[in-house]
């Protein structure tokens, strides 16, 4: 077994970190969980993973993620497919669109919150309901 494969076998789940002294300006796209302890300005897209903004983290970016935990501050719009956790001491300025949200006492949010579950079956239920309405309407008209 090579040294590289031994490291892979024994390594924990992948998690990238932007350190406390790091400032990033631009677009971040990640295929693993990401923790931000420094500053980021731009856009962040980690659609299939979790983004954590640590207590020292300062983010001015639009965010797309599977799950988001904010302990520091975030200024930007948020699209999360699962859940947003806004911890005590956190600050968010921007609109939040998510399937769920947990807001602890002491957290601050300024913006809109839209809680709706992404539902693939939603469109088919709407189509089915329209068909039923049409059938009832046709039955009434032919009576």
For residues 25 and 38, give the distance between their C-alpha atoms in angstroms, rounded to a whole number: 11
As a whole number, the mean pLDDT across the chain is 84
Percentage of the chain exceeding pLDDT 70: 72
Query: How does residue 63 score in pLDDT terms, banded at 50, 70 and 90?
Result: very high
Which of 97, 52, 54 lies closest to 76 in space, CA to CA? 97
pLDDT tens digit sequence for 20-36: 999 999 999 999 999 99
Contacts of 54 (CB under 8 A, 6+ apart): 35, 36, 37, 71, 72
Q: Could you tell me the pTM of the whole model?
A: 0.73
* Residue ranges of domains in the chain: 13-118
pLDDT tens digit sequence for 106-129: 999 999 999 987 554 445 555 556
């Amino acid at each position: 077994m090579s040294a590289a494969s031994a490291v892979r076998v024994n390594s924990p789940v992948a998690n990238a970190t932007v350190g406390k002294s790091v400032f990033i300006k631009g677009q971040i796209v990640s295929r693993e969980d990401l923790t931000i302890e420094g500053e980021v300005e731009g856009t962040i897209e980690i659609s299939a993973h979790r983004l954590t903004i640590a207590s020292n983290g300062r983010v001015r970016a639009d965010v797309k993620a599977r799950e988001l935990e904010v302990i520091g501050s975030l200024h930007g719009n948020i699209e999360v497919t699962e859940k947003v956790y806004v911890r005590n001491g956190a600050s968010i300025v921007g609109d939040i669109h998510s399937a769920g949200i947990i807001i602890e006492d002491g957290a601050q949010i300024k913006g809109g919150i839209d809680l709706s579950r992404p539902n693939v079956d939603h469109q088919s239920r709407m189509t089915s309901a329209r068909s039923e309405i049409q059938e009832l309407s046709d039955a009434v008209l032919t009576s």
